Amino acid sequence: MLTNIWNTFLYEPLLNALAFLVSVVPGGDVGLAVILLTLLVKIVLFPLSQRSIESQKKMNLLAPEIKKIKDSGASKEEQAKLTFELYKKHKTNPFSGCLLILIQIPIIFALYYVFLKGLNFESGLLYSFIKAPENVNMLFLGVLDLTQKSLLLAVLAGISQFFQAYYMPKPAPSTGDGKSFQESFAKSMHVQMKYVFPFIVAFIAYSVSGAIALYWVTSNIFAVGQQIYSARKKNVVL
């Protein structure tokens, strides 16, 4: 059952999309096809990721109100109820960022599985309206072999991950004399996302094929552009 869902909604769509893109890009360059596929995935997920960024902005603006609720002396149950009502009133979902990550992880694994099994476009998994590409070139721009590990792409994945974290909405500043556990945790997570996670991404990107690393680099660059775009928009209105 799970295998059928995986194949139907992740593996086969990505394989077919990649087959189509390889057939239309110059020279059958798989690297260019991966970049286009990444952009396609990011465009499809754009409304969700944009909502996540806007939600984080609202969370920062709501920090003083949440602090008032915590300092009100109400019971934990009442605080949770008031906080939920506050989120509902301002149409804010504190878990939207987690949802975006949960959606992207299967896509990355599915793409990895596509290359792990080899780009066999003659396997009978192509849709009737998708033709197998005549030329499949795994040398990205004639230089990087995407079937092998790539130190260059791994480093670029780590650097681009740093800038993605750098341009993420910053945690709300402390509104009291001391920091709550939630505020300290948020700040700690932001620091780790900026300075620790890029090394983890670089390590993983180097451990897998260059194609996955290229997907990660492109995805991060797109995210940085989206975050800069969101930062230049007018402030969120509550």
Average pLDDT score over the chain: 80
For 145, the enclosing helix (H) or strand (E) is strand 144-145
Mean pLDDT confidence for 108-123: 76
Please say if the pLDDT value at position 152 is more than 80.
yes
Mean pLDDT confidence for 100-114: 77
pLDDT one-digit tens code per residue, 5-36: 777 888 888 889 999 999 999 999 999 999 99
pLDDT one-digit tens code per residue, 50-60: 877 777 777 77
31: which residues sit within 8 A by CB, 6+ positions away?
139, 140, 141, 144, 146, 211, 214
Give the closest residue to 165 by CA, choosing from 195, 200, 202, 186: 195
CA distance 209 to 198: 17
Q: What is the token pair recorded at 109?
A: 């694994």
Q: pTM for this one? A: 0.78
Q: Which of 78-92, 110-124, 219-233 has the highest mean pLDDT?
A: 219-233
CA distance 125 to 118: 13
62: which residues sit within 8 A by CB, 6+ positions away?
86, 87, 90, 92, 238
Least confident of 85-94, 128-137, 158-167, 173-182: 173-182
pLDDT one-digit tens code per residue, 181-237: 455 555 666 677 777 888 998 998 898 888 889 988 999 999 899 888 887 775 554
- Give the number of other Cβ atoms within 10 Å of residue 138's Cβ: 18
Q: What is the pLDDT of residue 178?
A: 47
Q: What is the pLDDT of residue 183?
A: 56
